[in-house]
Structure 1
Amino acid sequence: MIIWLNGAFGAGKTTAAHELLHLLPGSTLFEPERIGDQLRGMLPKERLAEVDDYQDLPSWRSLVVDTASALLAELPGPLITPMSLLSQAYRDEIFGGLAARRIPVRHFLLQTEETFLRARIDQRAAVDGDAVRARCLDRLAQYDAALSWLTGDAHPVAASELTPRQTAEALADGVRSGAGACPIVQTAPPRAETLAAGVLFFDERGRVLLVDPTYKPGWEFPGGVVESGEAPTLAAAREIVEELGLTLDKEPTPLVVDWEPPRARGFGGVRLLFDGGVLPAERLAGLLLPPEELRAWRLVTEAEAEQLLDARRFARLRAALRARAQGSPLYLERGHPIGA
């Protein structure tokens, strides 16, 4: 198990973590910041200049999951992890990767009043200088912006008036009571190329429905992987029932067949998109999302979809909208139409 202590810089995560080690037998301190330090020493300065923070490096996020998994193969656990994680997309990637390895996460938020945080920033700046002050204040602004999702995702511990020991005791009580649990679907990482089927639904204004998974970053189309021996249309219908609580009135119409090449962190495969038709307002109002898999759904225009989807998925969506308009499916490779 991972006990993830989140919060702003100066919230006392590390000191509370050291105290918590004494209260949870068998626990071990796991500091992902050390992975960031190692990457800073190994990556070329040109690559480091492309990111604002080591958390922006895909290698860091991947190594956090892999290192935690390796440590828990050696140790009884839990791993106590004091680390600010203020990007919801990065939270989804890391926590989803841990869930895929069947490692549960308890997520706690150390809430500290801003006056205390600023005082601690000033104390550090008195030693390390104004550049450190500016960086810490920038992170404080990031923390404030993240509170809208953090407060709903993590179990809060009001730590402003507590000593590190008292904070650790509150955390230990929370762990023992089951607080902070993050139920995330345990989707095993693919071991070979996959066949996946997605379904596009539209509202009466022509906007397309996207969903926000809890186990991976970014927005996605409703749908999922086709199981061995399963027809893609049946897989699409099954996934729609599981993800949205919808039963298709008829077989969905094919829009796009897209071959996705293997990448450094994925095997690729064939991606299908079907047309699920227009959903009236009453059916949209009745959508039921599994909370361990999907956080939200949204109706978006094509321009809005470009801001939410990664480049591969947006290229697929754009081709699907074209196929829908012309009334005939398209075959793609790498998101680009072939022979059309």
Structure 2
Amino acid sequence: MIVWLNGTFGAGKTTAAHELLDLLPGSTLYDPELLGSGLRLMLPAKRLEEIDDYQDLPSWRRMVVDTAAALLTEVPGPLVTPMTLLRQEYRDEIFGSLAARRIPVQHVLLHAEETILRERIARRAEPPGGAPEAQASVRRWCLEHLGPYADALEWITGDAHVVDTSRLTPRQTAEQVAEAVRTGAGVCDIVQTPQPTAETIAAGVLLFDSQDRVLLVDPTYKPGWEFPGGIVEPGEPPARAGVREVAEELGIRLPRAPRLLVVDWEAPKPPGFGGLRLLFDGGTLTEERIRTLLLPGAELRAWRFVTEPEAEDMLPPVRWNRLRWALRAREGGCPLHLEAGVPVG
């Protein structure tokens, strides 16, 4: 298990984490910041110039999960992880990948009033002998993150158990976190999707409203918006898999097998294995049916009907290409064969 201590700089994550080690038997401190420091030493300067934060590195996010899994083969756990995590899509990717490895996460937000955060950052202790310019730069960097933290509070407080550290000592904070761990507060109820070990076949279903807008869903276990659907089980017909996934995810039972729109070959890109991606036309939903859409909290955070231009802003390029050709196939009445999102022939 992982006890993830979230919060901005000055909330007291590191000091509370060290105190927490005394209160949780078998616990080990796991600081993903060390992975970021290592990547800064190993990656070319040109690559580092392309990012603002090491969390923007896909390699860092993968290493956070892989290292946690490796550590839990050496120690009993839990892992106490003091790490600021403000971008919801990064939370989805990391916590979803941990869930896929059957590693549960208890997400705890250490929060403090902004005036107190500013006071703590101002008196932040620096290593002896540190250059005053460097110390000032670090404090400035911490202060600059107060705005993004405030912006992220809505989704974090909806996801995590909150401990207000404004008037608590580090020990008191750790005691409250330990009690939250004992009672199961902040457990992230994310669907556990096994990581593929080979190429897969996935079936997505496009559903439309009366304005011909397409339905997208926001999974809790991975970043970005997606189409309803999922992996085809061994021996399962792809169209039937799409029907099954729509019923499981949204509570909608399609009356007939959906019509194929595109078959897209997705190239393997480590750590992914690629495979065939199929999109089917699930037809137009009535207003009554739309009102009965379910939203399983462990799997989907939200759903939304969007226009084609809106979808372009919401989907990653590979899914966007797949969607736009599927819409063309729907208009033309003939399925298309794609390779890496590009029509063949």
Q: Work out whether the TM-score is over 0.5.
A: yes
Aligned match of 1:311? 317
**Structure 2 unaligned regions, length at least 5:** 127-131
Aligned match of 2:129? none
Separation (CA, whole Å) in 2 of partners of 1:133 and 1:75: 35
* Secondary structure in 2 matching 1:73: coil
8 A contact 1:125–1:132 mirrored in 2? no
Aligned counterpart in structure 2 of residue 198 of structure 1, from 204, 213, 221: 204
Shift of 1:133: 3.3
**Structure 1 unaligned regions, length at least 5:** none
Shift of 1:129: 4.5
Q: Map 1:271-286 onto structure 2 (within 5 A).
A: 271-286=277-292
C-alpha offsets along residues 291-337 of structure 1, whole Å, 9 cap, x if unaligned? Answer: 11111111111111111111100000000010011111111111011
C-alpha offsets along residues 271-301 of structure 1, whole Å, 9 cap, x if unaligned? Answer: 0000011112221111112211111111111
Aligned match of 2:215? 209
* Secondary structure in 1 matching 2:73: helix
TM-score w.r.t. structure 2 length? 0.96
C-alpha offsets along residues 228-268 of structure 1, whole Å, 9 cap, x if unaligned? Answer: 11111111111011000000021101111111111122111
Amino acid paired to 2:304: R
Aligned counterpart in structure 1 of residue 189 of structure 2, from 157, 160, 183: 183
Residue-pair matches, total: 339
Separation (CA, whole Å) in 2 of partners of 1:124 and 1:303: 46
Q: Map 1:1-340 onto structure 2 (within 5 A).
A: 1-124=1-124, 128-339=134-345
* Secondary structure in 2 matching 1:124: coil
TM-score w.r.t. structure 1 length? 0.98
Separation (CA, whole Å) in 2 of partners of 1:21 and 1:130: 31
8 A contact 1:209–1:298 mirrored in 2? yes
* Secondary structure in 2 matching 1:210: strand
Shift of 1:193: 0.5
C-alpha offsets along residues 104-139 of structure 1, whole Å, 9 cap, x if unaligned? Answer: 000000110000111122223995444333311221
* Secondary structure in 1 matching 2:212: coil
RMSD over equivalenced CA pairs, Å: 1.2
* Secondary structure in 2 matching 1:320: helix
Amino acid paired to 2:2: I
Separation (CA, whole Å) in 1 of partners of 2:275 and 2:253: 27
Separation (CA, whole Å) in 1 of partners of 2:83 and 2:112: 15
Separation (CA, whole Å) in 2 of partners of 1:192 and 1:252: 26
C-alpha offsets along residues 40-88 of structure 1, whole Å, 9 cap, x if unaligned? Answer: 0110110000000000000000000000000001100000000000010
* Secondary structure in 2 matching 1:199: strand
Separation (CA, whole Å) in 1 of partners of 2:194 and 2:278: 20
Amino acid paired to 2:30: F
Amino acid paired to 2:316: D
**Measured at CA, do residues 125 and 80 of structure 1 come closer, stay the same or move farther in structure 2, by a change above 3 Å?**
closer
Separation (CA, whole Å) in 1 of partners of 2:295 and 2:151: 25
Amino acid paired to 1:338: V
Amino acid paired to 1:311: P
